[in-house]
Structure 1
Amino acid sequence: MTYRASDARYGGGMQYRYTGRSGLKLPVISLGLWQNFGGTRDYPSAFEMLSYAFDKGVTHFDLANNYGPPPGAAEELFGDVMARDFRPYRDEMIISSKAGWTMWEGPYGDRGSRKYILASADQSLKRMGIEYFDIFYSHRYDSETPLEETMGALAHLHRQGKALYVGISMYPEKQTREAVRILKDMGVPCLIHQPNYSILNRWIEEDGTMAACDELGVGIIAFSPLQQGILSGKYNSLKGDLSGTRASENYSLSANRLEPRVLEAVDKLGEIAKARKQTMVQLALAWVLRKQEVTSALIGIRTLEQLKDCLGVLDNLELSAEEIATIDAAAKGGLIDSRPGR
């Protein structure tokens, strides 16, 4: 049976925001396809979640060359869905990918060299079976490669038409400003910055990265707005069973992150969410999206129910100044330092 997108996909509750000072709008909730869309995900469940998201107005799908596991598996699976079901809707989608972390063995399969960035982009396009990226990122700042070289590789992809827009991810404030300047000198705007940002992780506010992006007209898309699941409601000071959670895998979320002070803060935040008649997930997403500098919150999901929970935030995005102050006070003792290099 051929997939046909819902005729009501743009008539529901999804909101769209301009990305920095550009003409590109992104949905306030974007879908990231990290380890939840790797080799352990079958086609039917992937299609179920991707099609549900698209039918609800989620137009942005974010990947990277090494997403899996194994590396490359997420792009391959997404490419399968594109080829079989989503091809007629390609022009309605924002598809992004990245390169910067280890993808293959040897000296040319990691970091920010021109060779690695350009080879990675070509490989990712083949895996997904698409002709171009809407956004292609430098996945991390590489202190061992001249920034001019990394940004030059992004500019080259842009000029080739392989990337309509380019961006950076997890760049500190100083390097963000420098990357934007270098790209501007090359005639290519830096569209977007993708840092981790959540109620418990505020480094982009503290080191000036958020303010720099606002000043420079660079949009922000926040990944890990649920702090790798800590703000999902699965964890609190009364629960000790981690089975079936990210922490049980000790991969993307180390169990030692769940120290008592963090769990105590989560408990307090849970009470605030309850008072707002929201889930913890929805409170966390509303908090991230309260900032006009933030274009979109990038979610990762394992199940359709988790996706529905995240999209439920659209029913109540507004936070009063009093509520924000209460959230900040509750989170204060559980803040986590996840800035680059930590």
Structure 2
Amino acid sequence: MVYSPPPERYDTLPYRRAGRSGLKLPAISLGLWHNFGGVDRHEHARAMVRTAFDGGVTHFDLANNYGPPPGSAEETFGRLLREDLAPFRDELVVSTKAGYTMWPGPYGDWGSRKYLIASLDASLKRLGLDYVDVFYHHRPDPETPLEETMAALGQIVRSGRALYAAVSNYPADLTRRAAALLRSQGTPFVLHQPRYSMFDRWLEPGGLLPALRDEGVGAIVFSPLAQGLLTDRYLRGIPEDSRAASATGFLKADQVTPQRLAQIAALNALAQERGQTLAQLALAWVLRHPEVTSALIGASRPAQITDALGALNAGPLGEDELARIETILTPAAP
């Protein structure tokens, strides 16, 4: 059966401008970091992408090494483009990245011109696309001059391989330098992807938000649900099938302390008072900043995506609610 998304799919989810650019993103974007690799069921991945697009999610975020194995998430999304989304290519924002290890040897990592261009060419083949909408440098390179990395992004945009340039995990000072270098080339720099959640406020103390505001760059925050902690999954402890219970997961069981579980319960109580799920509250909280264009979620089942799409339905957080959240998040004095 030919996939036919609902005609009303753009009626409810807000679209927000990426900095001072002309690009708008949905307030909720779908990342394919987990559950879209070659080891995962294709029909399950297909159901999640369809659910997202049916709900107005137009932005799908990838990287060269997403899988496992590396590269397979791009292959999965390329197949989904061929099967379902090809007629809607001009309604999609497809992004990918390079900057972490992708292949062995000295040219398969970090931020050299050789690596970035070769990586994107391989990504385009896996995706079956002539161009991506946004291409990121995935992390700062401590050895390659920033001038070379930004020149590579500029070349990529001028060549038509990408429409916009972006960075991820850059601190404020490097973000300002990158913006100046890209501006000098006339390269549109539209997005910065930092991690950010109630439990990981990395972007706040280092001045990144003012830097993004000054440079006219939007933020698209990843891990806004703190690897699933800010969902109903941990309201009754650590589930056996959770990331915290897995020896190979990024979230470790020793991070799920009694104090953290008490914070989760208190935040959930506030969410219920607002008529929200805990995940919706967490997403509304990161989206409260005008500099934040979109919250990038991962998902393991379609219902999680449907839930996230309602994050802003309860209205903005009030000052009293924000103060209450700060009280919950502030550790008690010993």
TM-score by length of 1: 0.94
The 1-side partners of 2:118 and 2:330 are apart by 43
Deviation at residue 257 of structure 1 after TM alignment: 2.0
Q: How does 1:89-104 map to 2 (within 5 A)?
A: 89-104=88-103
- C-alpha displacement of 1:151: 0.8
CA-based RMSD: 1.3
Structure holding more helix per residue? 1
Aligned equivalents of 1:80, 1:151: Cα separation in 2: 31
SS of 1:115's equivalent in the other structure is: helix
Partner of 2:167: 168
User: Which residue identity is paired with 2:72?
Assistant: A
- Show the counterpart of 1:337: none
Q: Percent identity?
A: 51
Secondary structure of 1:220's aligned partner: strand
- Contact 1:138/1:168 (8 A) holds in 2: yes
- Note the C-alpha offset of 1:144: 1.5
How far 1:84 sits from its partner (Å)? Answer: 1.4
* AA matched with 2:209: M
Structure 2 residue identity aligned to 1:6: P
Equivalence map 1:273-288=2 (5 Å): 273-288=271-286
Counterpart residue type for residue 133 of structure 1: V
1:317 deviation in Å? 3.7
Give the Cα separation in 1 of the matches to 2:34 and 2:303.
Answer: 17
Corresponding residue SS for 2:330? helix
Q: Secondary structure at the match of 1:157?
A: helix
Match status 1:289 vs 2:287 = yes
| Alignment partner, residue 324 of structure 2 | 326
Q: Deviations over 1:92-137 (max 9, x none)?
A: 0000000001111111111111111111100000000011010000
Write the distance in 2 (CA, Å) between the matches of 1:103 and 1:324.
41
Q: CA deviation at 1:219?
A: 0.4
Task: Give 1:252's aligned residue.
Answer: 250
Q: Secondary structure at the match of 2:197?
A: coil
The amino acid of 2:73's aligned partner reads A
What is the CA distance between 1:52 and its match in structure 2? Answer: 1.5
Per-residue Cα deviation, 1:215-236 (whole angstroms, up to 9, x for no partner): 1100000110001111112124
CA contact (8 A) 1:180 1:189 kept: no
Structure 1: segments with no counterpart, 5+ residues: 335-342
Runs of 4+ in structure 1 over 6 Å off: none
Query: How big is each residue's C-alpha offset from its partner over 1:209-267, in whole Å with a ceiling of 9 and x where there is no partner?
Result: 1111011100000110001111112124x52x431111122323222322333222222
2:144 matched to 1:145?
yes
State how far apart, in whole Å, the 2-side matches of 1:40 and 1:156 are: 34
Q: Deviations over 1:255-304 (max 9, x none)?
A: 23223332222222111112112111000001011111100000000001
Q: Is the 8 A contact 2:65 2:100 kept in 1?
A: yes
Q: In the alignment, which residue of structure 2 is the partner of 1:298?
A: 296
Whether contact under 8 Å (1:167, 1:191) holds in the other structure is yes
Residues 184-218 of structure 1 deviation map (CA, whole Å, 9 limit, x = unaligned): 11111311100001111112111001111011100
The Cα shift of 1:58 comes to 0.4
CA shift for structure 1 position 49: 1.2
Q: Secondary structure at the match of 1:156?
A: helix
1:243 to 235, 240, 244: 240
* Distance of 1:258 and 1:88 partners within structure 2: 44
TM-score normalised by structure 2 residue count = 0.96
Q: How does 1:258-277 map to 2 (within 5 A)?
A: 258-277=256-275
Aligned 1:75-86 pairs, distance under 5 A: 75-86=74-85
Helix, strand or coil at the partner of 1:95: strand
Q: Is the 8 A contact 1:17 1:25 kept in 2?
A: yes
What are the residue-to-residue correspondences of 1:212-251 with 2, within 5 Å?
212-236=211-235, 238-239=236-237, 241-249=238-246, 250-251=248-249
* Residues 112 and 138 in structure 1, CA contact (< 8 A), matched pair in contact too: yes
Cα separation, 1, equivalents of 2:141 and 2:239: 34
Q: Which residue type is aligned with residue 223 of structure 2?
A: S
8 Å CA contact retained: 2:34, 2:299: no
Q: Once the two structures are superposed, what CA deviation does each residue of 1:35-57 show, in whole Å capped at 9, x if it has no partner?
A: 22112322221111111111111
What pairs up with 1:138-217 in 2 under 5 angstroms? 138-217=137-216
- Contact between 1:265 and 1:333, CA under 8 Å: does it hold in 2? no
Tell me the secondary structure at the aligned position of residue 239 of structure 2. coil
For the residues of structure 2 that align with 1:142 and 1:325, how far apart are their CA atoms? 38
CA contact (8 A) 2:96 2:132 kept: yes
Secondary structure in 2 matching 1:168 = strand
Are the aligned partners of 2:36 and 2:42 in contact in 1 as well (CA < 8 Å)? Answer: no
Q: How far is the alpha carbon of 1:167 from its aligned partner?
A: 0.3
Q: Distance in 1 between matches of 2:229 and 2:42?
A: 28
Structure 2: unaligned runs, 5 residues or longer: none
